[in-house]
Structure 1
């Protein structure tokens, strides 16, 4: 038997076979790999990074948009009698604390951090009360203190600057002891801080406050001296201030804390017993803000503890801004206000 010779398919047949196979592949049910979608471009670092967390000034609670100062908080003791007029530099302070001294008069602890004035004064002496007022890490500018007070201030680890140190000088146009002044701008350049201080008060916003009651004027009475305030144009004006014209402290709030007062253990040169504010424990608080008053309680765990505020409904905050703190004696002191 003769075999037929093998014959290769024609080009036309091959083409038809390929076309048929392609048609069958297109109709198949999904055995093939899916076609990849075009990839999206990777997000840039600028698109993926979150905005930085805001930072705030510790003595005002206001947002800080610059680097922190290299100097520590500087607390300057300022006379607060008629002999101090005109006081200089209060308008640049972040915060002011008014405290009782002998004879029923008061002295100011003016706090500087976000900015420092060229000059501040008249500078007067420290009290043991300052141990509970001055924040940790701060430096005090003072005319000195009684030996017993200096011993306690040093024991508390509070650094201080006084007459004889660079930047502290006598103003020749005034008479002693109300002529000691400090050039804070120059002093600040020579001071270095290890770290930024924590918030001095529990800061918040006006929206966080309870409604409170209406109060457009108030007076804090310390005995021989009283400090009065009036709510005007969104802030509080010290109506009996000794500050120079245009250099008054720009108070957004007035915080009154009723405090216990003890005996510091010595008498001043005039023979008056020197009081000591016990700024620890707890007491009644009154926050004046926006023409209203909110009653609450303050607490402080020891002289170095943080100040906490509360009402019967929970925590109380202080709206960010410049605050004048009145440490009014719970006994022999008084606070009055009116609508």
Structure 2
């Protein structure tokens, strides 16, 4: 599905301009090599389990590890399933996340999978339930999931995939009396993370990390609207060198400011059951291939993504070869390819 571009609203005399931008390689699309720049200083080598690079880098950001610390933390990657509706406000913990994935759930709403590794905060939440979609999201880094639970069919599939998860009743979980149920389940993630021992090796890189100087020129990309359904669109704007989620539910002092926003167009099917309100539960298939869009530094670069299986890493390419995400904090939008849409301004 094409990406629609629009000119950001400015002077009253400025005309709105909308043009189609097809994700993928096309001649003259502005995704040529970047202007000649100084050699990259950030690591661009993808790291596999057991390998080390100099300097050591965090697997969820690609950023160098400082202060003599090791990139293999004392805990596995912790993924918090967080509500993403107005009932969740204020969300807590997103400002400490390394990476966030937004996925479609029932009712046309979305839910967040917030990844924590380099920094484990205290209180996070509200904590909500898992989906089968999470198998492809968390498996590449062998993450442990923090969740309020799941439907029996989902729990069975999560267990069959060998994914560890922790829910209410486990260490760290509590109910916040200032919130309404079921949006009042929180956890002290620092306590919950002690329930699992540290991984023996550094997790794989979640994305192919690189340097902004090596990005193709791309197109202007200061604003993004990622529409998951008629009921939900996530909006981003580029401010002070980073992307801000305009319609976030996060607390004002605890927001996730993204260095990059990565949009992956994905297939969505029926998970095979309904929620208590009778809504069919969708399942996002994060494997195979699809169109990709990377926003960084106020510009947008088109390409494709591939993922050989649920456990496999995400690979990105454009017509010049491997497309690397500049090291930093990244928000990934899993937008349905058939029913969603993406508009860039």
Q: Using the alignment, how far apart are the partners of 1:133 and 1:195 within structure 2?
A: 20
Q: 1:194 offset after TM fit, Å?
A: 2.4
Q: 1:169 offset after TM fit, Å?
A: 1.1
Calculate the TM-score normalised by the size of structure 2: 0.82
- CA offsets 1:83-139 (integer angstroms, 9 cap, x no match): 000000100000000000011110000000000110110000000000000034210
Question: Match of 1:55, SS?
Answer: coil
Residue 313 of structure 2 corresponds to: 306
Residue 281 of structure 2 corresponds to: 274
Residue 39 of structure 1 corresponds to: none
Please point out which of 214, 228, 239 is paired with 2:235: 228
The runs of at least 4 consecutive aligned structure 1 residues that moved more than 2 Å come to none
Residue 213 of structure 1 corresponds to: 219
Please point out which of 287, 292, 300 is paired with 2:299: 292
- Structure 1 position 253 matched with structure 2 position 254: no
Alignment of 1:70-219 (within 5 A): 70-134=74-138, 135-192=140-197, 193-219=199-225
Q: 1:186 offset after TM fit, Å?
A: 1.2
Question: Match of 1:56, SS?
Answer: coil
Q: More deviation in 185-194 or 118-127?
A: 185-194
Q: Using the alignment, how far apart are the partners of 1:226 and 1:102 within structure 2?
A: 14
Q: Which runs of 5+ in 2 are unaligned?
A: 1-52
Q: 1:188 offset after TM fit, Å?
A: 1.9
Q: Using the alignment, how far apart are the partners of 1:238 and 1:137 within structure 2?
A: 28
Residue 319 of structure 1 corresponds to: 326
Q: 1:291 offset after TM fit, Å?
A: 0.3
Question: Match of 2:119, SS?
Answer: coil
Q: Which runs of 5+ in 1 are unaligned?
A: 1-51
Q: Using the alignment, how far apart are the partners of 1:256 and 1:122 within structure 2?
A: 25
Q: Using the alignment, how far apart are the partners of 1:190 and 1:166 within structure 2?
A: 7
- CA offsets 1:261-290 (integer angstroms, 9 cap, x no match): 011000000101000000000000000000
Question: Match of 1:107, SS?
Answer: strand
Residue 33 of structure 1 corresponds to: none
Q: 1:191 offset after TM fit, Å?
A: 2.2
How large is the RMSD of aligned CA atoms in angstroms? 0.9
Question: Match of 2:270, SS?
Answer: strand
Q: 1:189 offset after TM fit, Å?
A: 2.8
Q: Which one has the largest radius of gyration?
A: 1
Q: Using the alignment, how far apart are the partners of 1:137 and 1:259 within structure 2?
A: 21
Q: Using the alignment, how far apart are the partners of 2:221 and 2:159 within structure 1?
A: 41
